[in-house]
Amino acid sequence: MLLAVNIGNSNTRFGVFKSEEEIISWTINTKPYRTEDECYAKFKGMYGPFGFSKGDITQIVVGSVVPPMTHSVVNSLKRIHGIAPKVVDRNTPSGVKHKSKQMGTDLYANAVAAHELYPGKKIVIDFGTALTFTGIDENGQTLGVVIAPGIKTALKSLIGETAQLPEIELKAPEKVLGFDTESCMQSGMVYGFTSFVEGMIDRINKEVNDQCFVVATGGMSAVYAPLTDKIDKQDVLHTLKGLGFLAK
């Protein structure tokens, strides 16, 4: 089975492909950054709770946007499995063509999965540490990227820069206009960012003169996708699927 590892700024997501359709996935915090020995100790026994063993893994692919962690993760997995992980990035061959010299591996993997899985023009919205929009046309050419502060990143900044605003649960309040601090903040963070996402989709569609198929991924996508009819597919494993295609 293939083990795919996506090292993100906030979380590292592991996915074991039992088949192309069945992926067992879990996450750990990326921070604090760990040494190779710490990763080895943490990863060595992680498969048991999910019903398989390290011997079931026959191939490993790693994508990373956190250079300080790439070496530690790759070497620790090599020690555990005796398999050299394949590290992929924007230069790994695929059906996707891009002009960027700085495209992150996560954005590239998102574009690859979208191109392989969905027809026509696509937008992949990644609700991660950054909120990103990646456009891909029907031929696999990237149309460009938008990068904005992520939901939790913006919320941490709001709380950190104010004296009296508390930590809140990110969920949709009953009304847009609130009367207590918590619901007011929830409205701004949930409905406000939903409106931002909808507006960006409209602008991108207008710029490319088409109605793009929209995929939402990332940890916070489950909160926002149900609140709008402009998102066609919510798939938290979309980036891992892109790494799976790149592994081939």
Examine the domain organization and report whether 149 and 72 are in the same domain: no
- Same-domain check for residues 68 and 175: no
Q: What is the pLDDT of residue 104?
A: 93
Question: What pLDDT is recorded for position 145?
Answer: 95
Residue at 111 is within a domain: no
CATH of the domain at 139: 3.30.420.40
| pLDDT per position as a tens digit, 61-97 | 999 999 999 999 999 999 999 999 999 999 999 999 9
Compute the mean pLDDT over every residue in the chain, rounded to the nearest whole number: 95
Is there a single domain that holds both residue 61 and residue 167? no
- Which residue is it, tokens 């999965």? 113
Indicate the number of domains in the chain. 2
Pair 62, 123 in one domain: no
Instruction: Report whether 240 contacts 57 (CB < 8 A).
Output: no
User: Are 77 and 150 in the same domain?
Assistant: no
Residues present in the chain in total? 248
Which residue out of 106, 126, 202, 210 is catalytically annotated? 106
| 126 and 241 inside one domain | yes
DSSP states of 20-63? SS-EEEEEEE-PSP--HHHHHHHHTT-SGGGT--GGG--EEEEE
Q: Is the pLDDT of residue 107 over 90?
A: yes
Respond yes or no: is residue 106 known to be catalytic. Answer: yes
Flag whether 97 is in a domain: no
Q: Is residue 55 part of a domain?
A: yes
Could you read off the pLDDT of 5-31 as tens digits, one per residue? 999 999 999 999 998 789 999 999 999
Residue 162 CB-density burial (10 A; 0-12 exposed, 13-18 middle, 19+ buried): exposed
pLDDT of residue 101: 77
Domain that holds residue 152: 119-247
155 and 82 inside one domain: no
Residue 113 forms part of a structural domain? no
